[in-house]
Structure 1
Amino acid sequence: MQKRIIDALKVMHWLGLTMLLAAVGIYFLSDWAQQISGMVTVASLAGVGMVMMSPFPIALFLDWARSQSTDK
């Protein structure tokens, strides 16, 4: 069960990183970010991508902390 959660969070992490990189690419490599719809798109991609990335490091830390307490 725990392994499946970590795997799902890992997929969400990579998807979030892809969304964040897409937002950065749109911002720097096109003029679309100068329009209102482009600003909304870039901000949405970056925001949702960062939110999707955030649980994975916390889950890895909690998994590490749980393994440290069971080793003793």
Structure 2
Amino acid sequence: MQKSVIKPLKILHWLGLSLLLSGVGIYFLSDLSQQVEGMVLIACLSGLGMVMMSPFPIALFLEWAQKQK
């Protein structure tokens, strides 16, 4: 795994984390979660954030595995 692949995935990881945290913040800090539009917004933010975060740990593991050879 090259360093040029890790850097964009790290940026996506942090963007995904911010989306996830904003979804959790909206859930806990507002009454938007009681409305259908709010539920959809929270689900979209949280889901998209988790999807954006997921490739980075896999890339780190693959990089680590290649260094073990």
Equivalent residues in 2 for 1:5-20, closer than 5 Å: 5-20=5-20
Counterpart amino acid of residue 6 in structure 1 = I
Higher mean C-alpha deviation, range 38-47 or range 1-10? 1-10
Q: What is the TM-score of this pair, normalised by structure 2?
A: 0.96
Q: What is the TM-score of this pair, normalised by structure 1?
A: 0.92
Task: Quote the Cα distance in structure 2 between the aligned partners of 1:44 and 1:57.
Answer: 22
Unpaired runs of 5+ in structure 1?
none
CA distances 1:22-58 after superposition (whole Å, capped 9, x unpaired): 0000000000111111000000000000000000000
Number of equivalent positions: 69
User: Between the two proteins, what is the percent identity of the paired residues?
Assistant: 67
Task: Quote the Cα distance in structure 2 between the aligned partners of 1:30 and 1:36.
Answer: 14
Aligned to 1:32: 32
Unpaired runs of 5+ in structure 2?
none
Counterpart amino acid of residue 25 in structure 1 = G
Shift of 1:4: 1.5
**Structure with more relative contact order (C-alpha pairs < 8 Å, separation 6 or more):** 2
